Structures are given as C-alpha cells and as structure tokens.
Amino acid sequence: MNELKLVAVTAGLGKPSSTRLLTDRLATAVTEHAGAGSAVDVHVVELRDLAVDIANNLVSGWPSSALGAALEAVSDADGLIVVTPVFAGAYSGLFKSFFDLVEPEALTGTPVLLGATGGTARHSLVVEHALRPLFSYLHALTLPTAVFAATDDWGAGADTYGGGLPARIDRAGREFADLLARLAGDGIPRARVERDARAAGQDELDGPGGQGEADVVPFEQLLAGL
C-alpha cells in the first residue's frame, strides 16, 4: 500500500496560534476521510521556526539545511495544506516568502487545500483573491472548497450556518481526501508520477547510478537547437 505524503504549511506567528489550530484540524479531517484503506503521513512545516532561514535564503541564495528539508518536503508532497493568517488584506509576507523559494515547477499538479485565519469574517475572500491566484501561478491544483476561520468561529458569535467551522473543515477534508484518492488512481498519486518524470529530466546531475546518460542534453543538441 502506498503511503500518502500530506504536508501542511502553516504561517501562524503565535505559539500556540489559531492558524496552526486550523492547520491541524484540516490535516486530521483529511486523514479521517482518507479512510482505513490508505495510510497518510502528515508532516507539518511551521514557517515561524524557519523565518530567519527564509530571510537568509532570500539574500544569500541558498537554504539552510532545515529550510532545504522543508522545501523538499513541500516539493515531494502528494497533497498540500497551506494556511496563513491574513495580514494587510492578503497572505502574510512570511508565507509568500516561503513559496517564493519553492522551485517554479515543483508544485505543478500538486493538490492544494487552502486555508486562512483572520480577525473577522470580512477577510474571508482572501482565500480567493490572494491564495488561489498564487497557487494557480504555481500550476498547483487547488480544491474549490477553501476554509477561512475568523476569531469568532472559535467560540460564541461563530457562524453556525450549516454547522459552522467544524462542518466546513469536515467538508474540505472529505473533498480533499476524495481528490487525493481520485488522483491516486492505480495507487501512485499522479502528482508524484508527474514530479518524478520532471525530476528525471533534471537528474542529469545525479550520474549514471540514477537516471543515466540519456538525461543529459547532449551538446550537439544544444548547438542544433539554435
């Protein structure tokens, strides 16, 4: 049986943070709906812990080993959950800076569940006008259902229509688990297959033990391509 690699990127700055809380609930919902038939490996990336490394990568050009591992986990994920607090009407700068460091093709075809937290429900469309275009740019496959949690949603004053936040989390988890299952097809998630094919194209650096000489673009071909 193939283990599903679910990676959750969370950009909350507090400890504990409501952003992390929403992230964990979404991950749990996806895992539950994935059912007994499939094992899910959940890996949470806390951007707060990587904040200085992210800034250093922006100015120096390379990631620390911890940041490198996080970027690799995100690039290798079968499904991504991304959750950011709303800052100045959009995702936080830390959240954007992290995704600025992901290789341009790394998320192509990767299913993504969008989430955001904010002070009031007036920010709820941030998932549509800020988060979704970012992941569309990265050619990721965003789930139509996204989850926004306002402060009120955690207590009295919550929007209880249709079951409130717990129901919205549950619905998103169910739909995302369905999407992952459908994309998995014969058991190997399609995002992983496509990513492996892409990686094979880049593996000329990895030598004959890996993908072999066929992956180098021979120089005659570079000349002929002019």
Partner 1 sequence: MQFGIFTVGDVTADPTTGRTPSEHERIKTMVAIAQKAEEVGLDVFATGEHHNPPFVPSSPTTMLGYIAARTERLILSTSTTLITTNDPVKIAEDFAMLQHLAGGRVDLMMGRGNTGPVYPWFGKDIRQGIPLAVENYALLHRLWREDVIDWSGKFRTPLQGFTSTPRPLDGVPPFVWHGSIRSPEIAEQAAYYGDGFFANNIFWPKGHFQKLIELYRRRYAHYGHGTPEQAIVGLGGQVFMRAKSQDAVREFRPYFDNAPVYGHGPSLEEFTEQTPLTVGSPQEVIEKTLQFREAFGDYQRQLFLMDHAGLPLKTVLEQLDLLGEEVVPVLRKEFAVGRPADVPDAPPAHPALARA
User: Rule CB under 8 A: which residues touch partner 1?
Assistant: 55-56, 59-62, 64, 204-208, 213, 216-219, 222-223, 225-226
Q: Considering the complex, what minimum distance in angstroms separates the CB of residue 223 from partner 1? A: 6
Nearer to partner 1, 36 or 59 (CB): 59
Minimum CB distance to partner 1, residue 222 (Å): 5
Q: Which C-beta is closer to partner 1: that of 67 or that of 114?
A: 67
Q: Do 180 and 111 contact (CB within 8 A), yes or no?
A: yes
Query: Rounded distance, CA 133 to CA 146, Å?
Result: 13
Which is it for strands 79-87 and 90-91: parallel, antiparallel or unpaired?
antiparallel
Tokens of 15: 């400890």
Nearest-approach distance from CB 16 to partner 1, in angstroms: 29
Question: How many Å apart are CA 33 and CA 40, to the nearest integer?
Answer: 10
168, amino acid identity: R
Q: Tell me the closest approach of the beta carbon of residue 67 to partner 1, in angstroms.
A: 11
Residue closer to partner 1 by CB (options 91, 98) is: 98
Block residue for tokens 């998630």: 189
In angstroms and rounded to an integer, the radius of gyration of the C-alpha atoms of the chain is 19
**CB-wise, 42 or 199, nearer to partner 1?**
199
